[in-house]
Amino acid sequence: MLQDNYTRLYDYCVKHSTPMDDLLYELDRETHLKTLAPRMSSGPIQGRILSLISNLTTPKYILEIGTFTGFATLNLVRGLQAEGKLITVEVNAELQYISNKYFVKSGYADRIEQRIGDAKEIIPTLDYEFDLIFLDAGKRDYPVYYDLILPKLRKGGIILADNILWSGKILNEKMDKTSLILDDFNKYVVNDPRVENVILPLRDGINVIRKL
Ligand SMILES: C[S@@+](CC[C@H](N)C(=O)[O-])C[C@H]1O[C@@H](n2cnc3c(N)ncnc32)[C@H](O)[C@@H]1O
């Protein structure tokens, strides 16, 4: 019943929020038709929030960890400054044929740089001071990513860490390994004097973290 209500409320939010444009709709559809886990994609509501935050903060340098098919990338890039750059890192090269196609169609291809490989190895090689970082790759590595990216985030910059509530499993008495790691991660962030944060209980939970 609760789940049913949640689904109806989510559908209501989709219907009463600015819809995806044709390009995002096409990408969302192709993602559902051609990938095994389309729910990994941010989807319309979270995508709109990402583009809204990007438009509000007008970043010069954006980092995304975990491209998948590029749905979040194409939302994040919308607030990017004209001379800015978005770097998106993905370990699975097999998805590149989808993401690249849409990056080109979007007209932002010259400002999106995709790096293929393990983000844990790629992040230390990035010589940028990022304004906005979307953390959305392997959840068990969130603590590692956080310590790698925080020094590369400018003061006042924002990290958006996705799936932080892990379908509510972080409330289970007996947590699985991923839930335990995410729970520890959330505790680490809220006690970290270098940042302020708020968890938005949106979709699977987004931890919005601002560097002080
Ligand atoms: C939840 S999906 C990303 C969804 C995308 N950000 C969006 O919202 O549309 C997570 C992605 O992270 C990638 N990934 C997992 N571990 C990774 C790693 N160590 N380095 C880079 N990418 C990784 C996966 O292959 C997967 O495509």
* Structural tokens at position 58: 């007008």
β partners of residue 93? none
Q: 211: Cβ–Cβ under 8 A, 6 or more apart, which residues?
A: 150, 153, 154, 155, 156, 157, 158, 159, 194, 195
- At 2 the pLDDT is 64
The residue nearest atom 13 of ligand 1, judged by CA position, is: 66
For ligand 1, the distance from its centroid to the CA atom of residue 66, given in whole angstroms, is 3
- At 8 the pLDDT is 92
For ligand 1, the distance from its centroid to the CA atom of residue 40, given in whole angstroms, is 8
What is the number of the ligand 1 atom nearest to the C-alpha of 92?
A: 25
β partners of residue 61? 85
- At 143 the pLDDT is 98
130-135 and 112-116 strand pairing = unpaired
Q: Mutation test of ligand 1: which of 20, 23, 28, 40 has the most ligand atoms closer than 8 Å to its C-beta?
A: 40
For ligand 1, the distance from its centroid to the CA atom of residue 136, given in whole angstroms, is 6
Distance CA(7)–CA(109), nearest Å, equals 35
pLDDT in tens, the chain (212 residues): 566 788 899 899 999 999 999 999 999 999 999 999 999 999 999 999 999 999 999 999 999 999 999 999 999 999 999 999 999 999 999 999 999 999 999 999 999 999 999 999 999 999 999 999 999 999 999 999 999 999 999 999 999 999 999 999 999 989 999 999 999 999 999 999 999 999 999 889 999 999 99
Distance CA(47)–CA(73), nearest Å, equals 9
71 lines ligand 1 (CB under 6 A): yes
Cα 211 to Cα 151, 152, 177, distances in angstroms: 10, 10, 28
Query: Nearest 5 degrees, angle CA 192-CA 193-CA 199?
Result: 55
Q: Mutation test of ligand 1: which of 87, 136, 160 has the most ligand atoms closer than 8 Å to its C-beta?
A: 136
- At 102 the pLDDT is 98
For ligand 1, the distance from its centroid to the CA atom of residue 180, given in whole angstroms, is 20
Q: Mutation test of ligand 1: which of 23, 91, 118, 159 has the most ligand atoms closer than 8 Å to its C-beta?
A: 91
For ligand 1, the distance from its centroid to the CA atom of residue 57, given in whole angstroms, is 23
The residue nearest atom 26 of ligand 1, judged by CA position, is: 68
Q: CA nearest 56: which of 135, 5, 131, 168?
A: 131
* Structural tokens at position 61: 């340098």
What pLDDT digit, counting tens, does each position of 11-49 carry? 999 999 999 999 999 999 999 999 999 999 999 999 999
Question: For 2-211, CATH number?
Answer: 3.40.50.150
Quick check: 155 and 212 in contact, CB under 8 A?
yes
Quick check: 166 and 204 in contact, CB under 8 A?
yes
β partners of residue 196? 210
Helix (H, G, I), strand (E, B) or coil at 207: strand
